[in-house]
Amino acid sequence: MTRAHLALGSNLGDRLGFLQSAVTALAATPGIEVTGVSRVYETAPVGGPDQGPYLNAVVALKTDLDARQLLAVAQTLEADAGRVRGERWGPRQLDVDVLLVGDERVDSPELTVPHPRLEERGFVLAPLADVAPDLVSPPEGGWAGVEATALVLQPSPQAARSEQRS
């Protein structure tokens, strides 16, 4: 099993609902075990057209899938959320990016891993630091414009149910 990290983002519709559905679907995907979910961050859009703020999170996995297979899973989740590919960096119900897949390196037009803009994006680094403190340590004062919210994502449907009971 390989350790991997995916970034989730949403800035259209039921943003938290889209993120939770993605986590739940990942947990139900054969070959994927969700081992951690970051806090949920609210962040201003970077680049692209005028659009609303994002919710961002990072999911930590153990997986038998390789980076290409994870990209296929990511794109299925985006399509299931009703994402229609329009303008680059435009608003979306769900964005799922493959950040890191063990020490795998891929450099093709469809897929670059590690994600090429990882290190310049506070909205990715902040949640990644939550689930992978050995890989990323926050700068003093955190990342500008990236705020943790009180919103919570449940790592699996089982966890969501036991949370309701308690």
Catalytic residues: 83, 92, 95, 97
- Residue 31 CA to residue 37 CA, distance in Å, equals 17
Which of Mg ion, ligand ADP, none does 62 bind, CB closer than 5 to 8 A by kind?
A: none
Instruction: State which of positions 109-148 bind ligand ADP (CB under 6 A).
Output: 110-113, 115
| Nearer of residues 11 and 20 to ligand ADP, judged by Cβ | 11
Secondary structure (DSSP) of 69-107: HHHHHHHHHHHHTT----STT---S-EEEEEEETT--EE
The 12-51 contact track toward ligand ADP, x by CB under 6 A, reads ----------------------------------------
List the one residue out of 29, 32, 42 whose CA is nearest residue 5.
Answer: 32
* Coil, helix or strand at residue 22: helix
Q: Which of 98, 124, 125, 129 binds ligand ADP (CB under 6 A)?
A: 98
The 54-73 contact track toward ligand ADP, x by CB under 6 A, reads -----------------x--
Q: What is the separation, in whole angstroms, between the first and last Cα of the chain? A: 32
Give the nearest distance from C-beta 148 to ligand ADP in angstroms. Answer: 21
